[in-house]
Structure 1
Amino acid sequence: MVAKTFFGFEDILAEELRNLGAGNVEKGVRNVSFEGDKGFMYKANLCLRTAVKVLKPIAEFRVMNENDLYRRVQRMNLREFMNVNTTFAINATVTGDLFTHSQYVAFKTKDAIVDKFRKEENVRPNVDTKHPDIRLNVHIQNNWCTVSLDSSGASLHHRGYRTATNIAPINEALAAGLIMLSGWHGQSDFLDPMCGSGTMCIEAAMIACNVPANLNRKEFAFEKWDDWDVDLYELIEAAQLKHIRDFRYKITGYDKAPSAIAKAKENIKNAQLEDFITVKEQNFFETQKEGNDFLQMVFNPPYGERLPVEMEEFYKQIGDTLKTGYPGSHAWLITSNMESLKHVGLRPSRKIKCFNGSLESRLVKYEMYEGSKKGKYQED
């Protein structure tokens, strides 16, 4: 099988899969391949935090043009997973010079399937892009084509808890990956100083308490497959719930917008994590660290893409607030605005390349020391 993820998250996803018990784990680019049985496929969809899809390859072949693709799809034993009454949907991704239009590849694959059934049974199966019985994924890299069953359905970042969002909400799987890249697994207090609708805090709490990432999700695509085994799934879910652990630190979110705090509280309630997360209507630039214990911060400040902000001054205020108010903290932030990042006035100890959607970004780390070590960081 293959789990798809974001650029830069391959190592984390591979570690997740090994920890779950996957066999033969191999990293690719934006994906990790692995081996497992049907029960493990269920577990992967339920538990993986940084995956956006879990695919089950059913055919691989070489293609040189669209006619090749049409013929090779028609040679597949389609009746192993569908019949004329099965509704289906197809999505495609292509890289290389031979195929450049993913929608055309999806269209050609659809034609091959319906023409095969029409020729053999004089009836064609129907396409249903919203709620199909099966979803097929076609991936062509140069001239190598892989056709897979999509076991997830909607992207796995749709956890099921987030019913209220702000203008620029962060992807849930991206948020989980950023937190895991920061090295935080529930061993300290946690703060998102610009929490928006609460995604970062919720993902942090789920990691800290070892709550399965997609426990609140309403459905997976495999639930419509002919071999869907509800008893097996319930056994796996029950086994994972036994691994949930308590958490003795504090997770806090700040936002200066009352509407954002209201949405965050609703989402936290949906995730059943009210006991672990506190959100406050507060302007981060008017705050300081509470207590003397170590604090981990991970946040997603505005980039200037969708939220109108005077970026240079805004990022300067981030740096000033960290320097004066948050000694004994590690602050991680993601941004695609490399120019504004210079105005933080602190030297990052780490920079990690990643993507927020299509935006090339950097996850940067600032280590705020107490006492004499403050001098380590001088304004650029």
Structure 2
Amino acid sequence: MGKNFKMLAKTLYGLEELLAQELRQLGASNIEIGTRNVSFEGDTGFMYKVNLCSRTAIKVLKPITGFNIFTEEDLYKKIYQIPWEEYMDANGSLAVDATVYSKYFTHSQYIALKTKDAIVDRFRDKEGERPNVDLDHPTLRINIHIDRNICTVSLDSSGQSLHKRGYKIENTIAPINEVLAAGIIMLSGWSGQCDFMDPMCGGGTILTEAAMIACNIPPNLNRDEFGFETWPDFDVDLYEVIEDAALKKVKDFHFKIYGSDTDGFAVRKAKENIKNANLSEFIEIKEQDFFSSEKETGRQLHMVFNPPYDERISVEDIEAFYSNIGNTLKRGYAGTNAWMITSNMEALKHVGLRPSRKIKLYNGKLESKLVRYEMYEGSRKFSKQ
């Protein structure tokens, strides 16, 4: 086995505990929870495994060095001294992402540029040629993190953000991020123990993530590439061993997953995306208005949905719309655990049901609440005669 080293997995606000739990189950050691990130230790094979199997990680970074800096000149010198030729060829390509929390440095774009200059200059001085910049598919993606005057330099083992699972052919309006969708399902406590429904399914992201959770399918199986695949030390045989082991853990699912939407275009796109993820046998989708629907009798149902917020998708009367959600749940969905996420706190009041849980999350930049409504069979109290 290879040596263990420290890594940092980034995630979305509110999913840190879930990510730590995932890392623990996958076999990480020395797990520490931060804000929007979790640090942990593992070997190279484990780095491959987290990228392939984590549902809630957005990036997996491998720190290579850290140092103190007070000026841009310090940054340039320290970056220049790193033996970049060990990590890439002069004829390769690079991209630099920077995040900055510091009074000394305020412009992340400029920090990224200064880093790129130092790397390129080192190659030019040592080898007479220089790597190009390629923001989409670089040979090496580098992450610079500056906290006050501490700079951490990491290699980005994921490449493009891990929410880009590779199954979406077409986006609908206001699609939910795949990592957020998986996180919501996991926070809701559903893992395949009963029927699952998304009554406003849009492009089918929540349904797809639910099917992958139920069947224990690695979420990033459909991706074209990970960042580590272009590293000089990439071990393709080891990666295949990791992938085979993950695929052996895939399991059968014996309940129904179904979704609907009033928008025929969204329904068609959802079907395409689900087919692309090879999950058509598990998910049924139809064009239907939730407000005139009801649940199948005698079956336990878990519902997760992302209704319009009147932000990116406008709704004529958002308050009436949310009031209708509450009425439909009361009328047609007794015996259902219903979870929904919204950033429209005003409209949420019009649902007319008391949530039994509220969890703060962000959908993109929008502060949102994930709420649970427990729809009991009959009344909780004896109805007064």
1:335-346 → structure 2 map (5 Å cutoff)? 335-346=342-353
Q: Where does residue 305 of structure 2 map in the other structure?
A: 299
Residues 1:269 and 2:278 aligned together: no
CA distance in 1, matches of 2:331, 2:56: 34
Q: Is contact 2:85-2:123 (8 Å) kept?
A: no
Residue 115, structure 1, aligned to residue 125, structure 2: no
CA distance in structure 1 between the partners assigned to 2:276 and 2:98 by the alignment: 33
Partners of 1:188 and 1:294 within 8 A in 2: yes
**Structure 1 segments of 4+ aligned residues over 6 angstroms from their partners:** none
1:29-108 equivalent positions in 2, closer than 5 A: 29-108=35-114
Secondary structure at 1:373 match in 2: coil
CA distance in 2, matches of 1:294, 1:144: 52
1:193 paired to 2:199: yes
In the TM superposition, residue 230 of structure 1 has moved relative to its aligned partner by 1.1
Tell me if 1:316 matches 2:311.
Answer: no
DSSP 3-state at the match of 2:18: helix
Distance 2:176 2:382 in 1: 34
**Letter matched to residue 355 of structure 1:** Y
1:274-301 residue CA offsets vs partner (Å, 9 max, x unmatched): 1111001100001011122221111100
User: Structure 1: how far apart are the matches of 2:260 and 2:252?
Assistant: 23
1:130-209 counterparts in 2 under 5 A?
130-209=136-215
Per the TM alignment, residue 374 of structure 1 is displaced from its structure 2 partner at its CA by 6.8
Query: How much is the aligned-residue C-alpha RMSD, in angstroms?
Result: 1.3
Q: 1:27 aligns with which of 8, 26, 33?
A: 33
Asked whether 1:283 is paired with 2:289, we answer yes
Tell me, in whole angstroms, the C-alpha distance in 2 between the residues paired with 1:372 and 1:125.
68
Q: Return the offset for 1:38.
A: 0.8
- Alpha-carbon distance in 1 for matches of 2:359, 2:71: 38
Which residue matches 2:216?
210
Give, in angstroms, the shift of residue 60 of structure 1.
Answer: 0.8
SS of the aligned residue for 1:177 comes to helix
Which residues of structure 1 form unaligned runs of 5+?
Answer: none
Contact 1:336–1:359 under 8 Å retained in 2: yes
Tell me how far apart the structure 2 counterparts of residues 122 and 189 of structure 1 sit (CA, whole Å): 62
What's the TM-score once normalised by structure 2's chain length?
A: 0.95
The 3 A distance-change label for structure 1 pair 121 and 311 is same
Give the conservation status (yes or no) of the 8 Å contact 2:28–2:41: yes
Question: How far off is 1:65 after superposition?
Answer: 2.2
Q: Are the aligned partners of 2:197 and 2:259 in contact in 1 as well (CA < 8 Å)?
A: yes
Amino acid at match of 1:308: S
Q: How does 1:341-356 map to 2 (within 5 A)?
A: 341-356=348-363
Instruction: For 1:353 and 1:261, locate their aligned partners in 2 and report how far apart those are by CA, in whole Å.
Output: 29
The offset of 1:353, in angstroms, is: 0.6
Q: 1:35 corresponds to which letter in structure 2?
A: E
Q: CA deviation at 1:325?
A: 0.8
More displaced stretch, 194-203 vs 117-126: 117-126
SS in 1 for 2:9: strand
- What's the % identity of the aligned pairs? 64
Q: Secondary structure at the match of 1:372?
A: coil
State which drifts further: 192-201 or 285-294.
Answer: 285-294
Alpha-carbon displacement from aligned partner over 1:252-310 (angstroms, at most 9, x marks no partner): 10101111111111111111111111001100001011122221111100011111102
Give secondary structure in 2 for the equivalent of 1:159.
coil
Q: Kindly indicate whether the alpha-carbon contact (under 8 Å) linking 2:45 and 2:238 is maintained by their aligned counterparts in 1.
A: yes
Between the aligned partners of 1:375 and 1:306, the Cα distance in structure 2 is 43
Q: Is the CA contact (8 Å cut-off) linking 1:368 and 1:374 kept in structure 2?
A: no
Q: Deviations over 1:3-32 (max 9, x none)?
A: 100001000000000100111111111011
CA distance in 2, matches of 1:264, 1:196: 7
- Name the structure 1 match of 2:367: 360
> What is the TM-score when the length of structure 1 is the normalising length?
0.97
Match of 2:242 in 1: 236
2: distance between equivalents of 1:331 and 1:196? 17
In structure 2, the gaps of 5 or more residues are: 1-6
1:329 paired with 2:336, answer yes
Q: Distance in 1 between matches of 2:242 and 2:113?
A: 37
Counterpart residue type for residue 363 of structure 1: L
How far, CA to CA, are the matches of 2:355 and 2:124 in structure 1? 61
2:378 is aligned to 371
Contact 1:193 1:255 in 2 (8 A): yes
Secondary structure at the counterpart of residue 60 of structure 1:
strand
Q: Secondary structure at the match of 1:191?
A: strand
